[in-house]
Structure 1
Amino acid sequence: MGELRADWRLRLRREDAYGPICGAGVLVDQYTALTCAHVVGRPDAVMWLEFAENSGLEPVAARVPPGGWLPKSEGREDVAVLRLDSPRPRARPAPLEPRLWSGMEVYATGYAEGFDEGMTLWGRVAGASGERVQLDAVTRAEVVRKGFSGAGVCTRPHEGRPARVVGLVVSWRGDMGALLPENNRLAFSYLIPIDRIAELSPAIRELSSPAAWDHGFEKRLARWFDDPDEDPVKITVVSPGSGKDRSLRHLLHRAHLVCRGGGSSRPDLADHALSHIDFPPGQYLAYWDWLLGTKPPPAQVPALAPGRQVTVLVDGLDEEPEPGPLIELLARLRVLGFRLLLVFRHEGGTGWSAARDDLLRPALLGHADALLARLERAEFSRAVRFDVVDSASLGSVSETADRRRGERRAIDDLTDPQQQLARSRRLIRTLRADLGRSGGRS
C-alpha cells in the first residue's frame, strides 16, 4: 500500500507559530512550498509551515518570493509559491505529476475546523471547469471545505509507487450557496492542476519536469548510507544543476561531515573529524598535525568505536584547486575507519586518478579482505553448530572462503587499475551473497 504519512503535507498558520490554522500546503523541495494565494492573504504575509505528519521536523516560517504571487484577482489561478526561511532537506518533498485525466481516483488531506490533525477526503477527477478541474465526491459530506485550500490532491497510492500530487485544492461550490457542502443539493470540489501551475511558475515547471529528480540515485545513495556492508569509499559523478544534483542536496544531511571542494578548509575538516575520535587526553595537536600531514603518526593511531559509522562527504572534489593534500587527509581518515563519499562534478576531473588509486582501490581491497575473514568465521561457526568439525573435516569447513581467497590473490596479480576495481567489486558482491547464505551477514 501507499505511505500513511508524508513529510510534504503541510499545515499552515498565518503570521506566527500560534496563529490560527488557515489551510494546507505542499512541500515541493527543501526550500519551496505551494499553497493558495487566498490562504496567504497578502503577498507580504509571513506564513508558518508545520509538518503535521512528522513531528521530527521543525516548523518553519515562509514568505512569498518575487514571482511567487499568482492570485485570482489578477486573472490567474489563486496560487502562492512560498520560500522557506531555512531549508528542510530531511523532509521528503512531494512527487509532482503534471498528467491528469477524467476518472482518476484522488484524495486530499486538509485541516477543517475541529480536525486540526487532518481529515482525508476521496473523489474522482470529473472534468475541466475553465482553468480549474472539478472533483466529484461520493457524497456531499466528502466535498472539501474551509481548511482544505492549498492541500495536495494525490493519486491513489499503489504498491511500490508513492502517491503523486496532481494539483492543489482551491475551492468548492454548492448550487444553493449554503455554508456547508452537505446543505446544498449539489456540491463539487475544485483543484488547480500542476501543469497549469507550471505554466505560471518557472520554479514549479522545473520541479515537475521528468528530469527534476533522480530517484534511482536517491535509493542507491540511501542504501549506501544505511548499510555498513556497502563499499567504504564511493565515488559518484553529479553534474551541476541536474536532477541528480537536486537529489544529492536532499541527502547531504545524512553525512556526519561535509567538505566542499574549493570552499572548505582542511584544518576545519581535521578538527571536525577528531570530534568523532577518542584520542588520549592531551594528544589533540598530535593527531591534528598527523591528519594534516605536518608530523608523523602518533605511536598509537586510534580507530572509531566498534560498530560506529562516520561518513565524510566531499562535494565537488574536482573543484579543489590542489586536491592532493585533501586526498592525503582523506586517506588518513580511512586509516581511522571513516567512510568516504566523493562527489565529482565532471567525470575525469581534477583528482580523479588519485582518488581512484589512493582511496577507492585500497578501500575495496581492504573491504574484500574484511568480508573474507567474516565468511571464514561464519563457515566455521556453521560447521560447529552442525557438529561437522573433526580432525578429518577441519580443512573443508571453510571451502567457500578458501575459493574466494584464491580469487582475492588473483586480483593482486593484475596490473591494470580498472581491472582491479572491476574484479574487486565483483568479488565483494559475491562475498556479500556468500555471507547471506551462510548466515554471516550483519
Structure 2
Amino acid sequence: MGELRADWRLRLRREDAHGPICGAGVLVDQYTALTCAHVVREPDAVMWLEFAENGGLPPVSARVVPGGWLPAAAGGEDVAVLRLDSPRPQARRAPLDTRLWGGMEVYATGYAEGFDDGMSLWGRIGGASGERVQLDAVTRSEVVRAGFSGAGVCTRPEEGRPARVVGVVMSWRGDLGEALPEDNRLSFSYLIPIERIAELSPVIKGLSAPGAWDHGFEERLGRWFDDPDEDPVKITVVAPGSGKERSLRQLAHRAHVVHRGGASRPDLIDHALDQVTFPAGEYLAYWDWLRGAKGRPERAGDRAPLRPVTVLVDGLDEEAQPGALIELLARLRVFGFRLLLVFRHEGGPGWTASRDLLLLPALLRHADGLLDRLQRAEFGRAVQRDIVNSASLGSVTETADRHRATRRLLEDVRDPQQRLNRLRALIRTLRADLSRAARG
C-alpha cells in the first residue's frame, strides 16, 4: 500500500503551541496550509500547526493570508488559507487533485476527543450538497465528528503513488440533531472539493493547477541530493515562474550552501569555509585563495569534508560577473563540493564556461573514479572465485580495461558537447556495470 505517515497532515491548536486541539489542516506548500474558517474562529487569530505524524518537524505558528478568510457566514465556504510564520520546506506537502467523482473511495484523519494522535475514517464520495460534497460512511460510527474539521480527504493510497488530497472536511450532519453521529438515524460527512477552494482562493488555484509543480524534476533532484554517487556537477535550466521553479524552491533547503545569482561572493566564500576544517590561523590564507588573490594553500585537497557538501547556485546567468563566480566554484571543487548550477535561460551568460570549466572536468574525474571502483570490484570477484594467477591477471578486469580504452579516446574528441555526450554515456555504462558487480 502507499505511505503510512504524511508530513502534510496537520493537527491544529489554538492560543499557543500547547493549547487545546481544535481541528486539522493540510500543508499545501512550505509556506501555506488549509483548514476551516470555523476552526480558526477569527481572521486575525494565531494558530499553531503540529506535524502530528513527523515528530522531527517543530510546530509553527500561522495566520490567515490576505484574501484567505472565507467563512460560511459571509457567503463563503468555511475555508481559511494560512501562511506559516516560518516555512517548513523539510515537510512533504500534500499532492492536491481537483478530480473528484461519485463512488471514489476516500479517507480522512482527524483528532477527535480521546484520539489526540489521530484516527482515520473511510467512506465514499456521494452526491453534491450545494458547493459541498457528501461523504458516505459505511456505518454511522465512521461519520466525521469534532476534531476532523479541516482534515484532508484523500484518495486510497497505492503502491508507488501517494494519496492525493481531493477535498477538506467541513462538517457532519445528523437528522435528529444529536451530538454524536451514531445517535442519529441518518448521519453524513461533508467536504469542500479542492476544485471549489481553488475557485475561491488564487493561492490554492496556483498550487493545484496543472503544471504547478514539476514532479519529474523533483524526483531527479531528490535522487541527486540523496546519492553522492550522482554527477558531482549538475546543470539545469529553471524558467522563472514555472512549476519547475516552485519545485526547486521546495528542495533548495537540502543544499548546504545557497548562492543567489548577483549576491555577494564574499558571503559565498564565508559560507563555504564554514563547511571546511583547516588548521588554526589559516582562515585568511584559504579566504584569499578562494577569492583569487593568492595561491592555493598546501594540502587544500586534504581538507575535503568526510561527507560531500552541496552548493546550489540559483540563477548563475543573473550574475554580473559569471566568470569570476565560475572560477570560485572551480576552486571549491578542490574540496570535493558538489555543485547544482541553475540557469534561468539555456545558453545564458556563463553557460559555456560552466560546461567547459566545471561540468566536463568534474565528470571526467568522476568517470575515472568509477573505473577504479569497477576494476577493484572485478579483481575482488576474481579473487573470491580463486581464478587469479600469473596468467589471468590481465583478463580478470577485462570490462574495466575496455572502458578505460573508451575513456582514453575521449581525449581526442575536440567538440566539447560531443565529448560531454560520450562521457555521459560512459558514466551510465559504468554505473550499470558496477550495479551488476554489486549483485554478484
TM range (shorter): over 0.9
Equivalent residue, structure 1, for 2:18: 18
SS at match of 1:439: helix
1:46 aligns with 2:46: yes
C-alpha separation in 2, matches of 1:149 and 1:176: 21
Structure 1 counterpart of 2:389, one-letter code: D
- Counterpart of 1:125, as a letter, is I
Where structure 2 has 5 or more consecutive residues not aligned to the other structure, the ranges are none
**Matching residue's letter, 1:202:** P
State the alpha-carbon separation in 2 of the partners of residues 269 and 154 from structure 1.
Answer: 43
The question of whether the paired residues in 2 share the 8 Å contact of 1:3 and 1:157 is answered with yes
Verify: 1:194 aligned to 2:194, yes or no.
yes
Residue equivalent to 1:381? 380
Give the whole-Å Cα distance in 2 for the aligned partners of 1:301 and 1:31.
40
**2:99 equivalent in structure 1:** 99
Q: Which residue of 1 aligns with 2:301?
A: 302
SS at match of 1:64: strand
2:233 corresponding residue in structure 1 = 233
Match for residue 179 of structure 1?
179
Question: Is 1:58 the equivalent of 2:58?
Answer: yes
Q: Is 2:34 aligned against 1:37?
A: no
- Judging changes above 3 Å, is the alpha-carbon distance between structure 1 residues 324 and 306 closer, same or farther for their aligned structure 2 residues? closer
Cα pair 1:63 1:85 within 8 Å, conserved: yes
State whether residues 304 and 335 of structure 2, in contact with CA within 8 Å, keep that contact through their aligned partners in structure 1. Answer: no
Which residue matches 1:315? 314
Q: Once the two structures are superposed, what CA deviation does each residue of 1:85-144 show, in whole Å capped at 9, x if it has no partner?
A: 111111111011111100000000000001111000000001101111001101000000
Distance 1:310 1:107 in 2: 41
- The 8 Å contact of residues 275 and 305 in structure 2, kept in 1 or not, is answered as no
Whole-Å separation in 1 of the counterparts to 2:102 and 2:215: 28
Structure 1: gaps spanning 5 or more residues:
none
SS in 2 for 1:430: helix
Partner Cα separation in structure 2 for residue 394 and residue 356 of structure 1 = 38
Please give the secondary structure, in 1, of the residue aligned with 2:25.
Answer: strand
Conservation of the 8 A alpha-carbon contact between 2:108 and 2:154: yes
TM superposition shift of 1:305 = 5.0
Note the C-alpha offset of 1:217.
Answer: 0.5
- Over 3 Å off, 4+ runs: 302-307
| Paired residues of 1:303 and 1:337 also in contact (CA < 8 A) | no
Aligned to 2:78: 78
What pairs up with 1:121-200 in 2 under 5 angstroms?
A: 121-200=121-200
Mapping of residues 227-306 of structure 1, within 5 Å:
227-263=227-263, 265-305=264-304
Is the 1:279–1:302 contact (alpha carbons within 8 Å) kept by the matching residues of 2? no
- CA–CA distance in structure 2, aligned partners of residues 155 and 56 of structure 1: 26
Cα distance in structure 1, aligned partners of 2:305 and 2:135: 56
Partner Cα separation in structure 2 for residue 48 and residue 111 of structure 1: 14
Count of aligned positions: 440
Percent identity of equivalent pairs: 77
Looking at structure 2, the residues matched to 236 and 100 of structure 1 have their Cα atoms a distance apart, in angstroms, of 35
What is the rounded CA distance, in whole Å, between the counterparts of 2:439 and 2:284 in structure 1? Answer: 40
For the residue of structure 2 that corresponds to 1:68, the secondary structure is strand
Please provide the CA RMSD for this pair: 1.2
**How far did 1:65 drift?**
1.5
